[in-house]
Amino acid sequence: MAILPAAAIADAAIPPHRAEYLLTRDGLPFGIVTMELWIDADGGYRYRAHTEPHAAVALMSQALELGDGISQTEESVGDLEAGRFRPREYHFRREGTEAGRGLDLTFDWTHGRAAITSEGKPWSMEVPAGAQDKLSVLLAVRQDLDATQGERSYRVADGGRLKTYSFRVVGRESLPGPAGERDTMALERSKDGREVDYRLWMAPDLYQLPVRIERDEAGSLYVMELTRIEGLGLAQDSGAAASGP
């Protein structure tokens, strides 16, 4: 992980780091998720979430001649403006046993628009100042959580539409997990006023890094649990490997 000038890290509010999660579906291993934040000396950032199938899933897919399973990558690229993460680009790729999918989004903040290309089809939409993409919104939530009481909403460019993501603070919980027990802030997320679709547990001692995320999809419960953390100025992380940026 790159060593940056102290001023660049201070401006970021969230230092560079790498977090690994075990993803389960209905209690069974399903994938490994890696989320990594890079910050450069010129005030730019890159935030990446990559999911690879768990070894057991990959072996089963190979046995059934379905390939190596599904991998997925999301990436938000942008700039730090007055300490806030402002996205310039968002990219999504899914590859594997299902038909590949991809989406590219570019923000034009001068004209208040976003250009989207998905499966070769381009279009654009208006975006207000302060809008986020599907990945950078997590950085915004982490920066705002200490000051959030009750509920906070964000406008998010999501799937070619502008949606409202609302995050409600449920309370504090002591949460056990593979990376050790931590004091957390529990949140619920909903889109456009609909039912809660995500539940998150954020660790204040890790710059509000999510240590557990739950989502319900198609009748299955998906759970991400933190297993390893590097960066955030830690010397040791409850038995999980950690090192400073």
Residue 213 has pLDDT above 60, yes or no: yes
Q: Please report the pLDDT score of residue 160 as a whole number.
A: 81
Q: Please report the pLDDT score of residue 68 as a whole number.
A: 44
Cα dist. 185→71, 171, 205, 238 in Å?
30, 6, 11, 18
User: What is the rounded distance in angstroms from the CA atom of residue 237 to the CA atom of residue 220?
Assistant: 30
98-119: buried (b, 16+ CB within 10 Å) or exposed (e) per residue? eeeeebebbbebeeeebebeee
Looking at per-residue pLDDT, the higher value among 213 and 180 belongs to 213
Q: Which of 198, 104, 206 is nearest to 145 (CA)?
A: 206
Q: Please report the pLDDT score of residue 87 as a whole number.
A: 98
Q: Which of 35, 26, 6, 61 is nearest to 211 (CA)?
A: 35
Residue 241 has pLDDT above 90, yes or no: no
**What mean pLDDT, rounded, does the chain reach?**
84
Lowest-pLDDT range of 56-65, 138-147, 179-188: 56-65
Q: Which of 183, 187, 87, 177 is nearest to 145 (CA)?
A: 187
Residue 69 has pLDDT above 60, yes or no: no
203: confidence class by pLDDT, cuts 50, 70, 90 = very high
User: Three-class SS of residue 244?
Assistant: coil
> How crowded is residue 173: how many other Cβ atoms within 10 Å of its Cβ?
12
E strand segments, the chain: 17-25, 28-39, 44-53, 71-81, 84-95, 101-108, 113-118, 121-126, 132-133, 151-158, 161-175, 182-191, 196-203, 209-217, 220-231
Asked whether 243 and 231 are in contact (CB, 8 A), the reply is yes
In this prediction the pTM is 0.85
Asked whether 208 and 227 are in contact (CB, 8 A), the reply is no
* DSSP collapsed to 3 states, 171-235: EEEEECCCCCCEEEEEEEEEECCCCEEEEEEEEHHHCCEEEEEEEEECCEEEEEEEEEEEECCCC
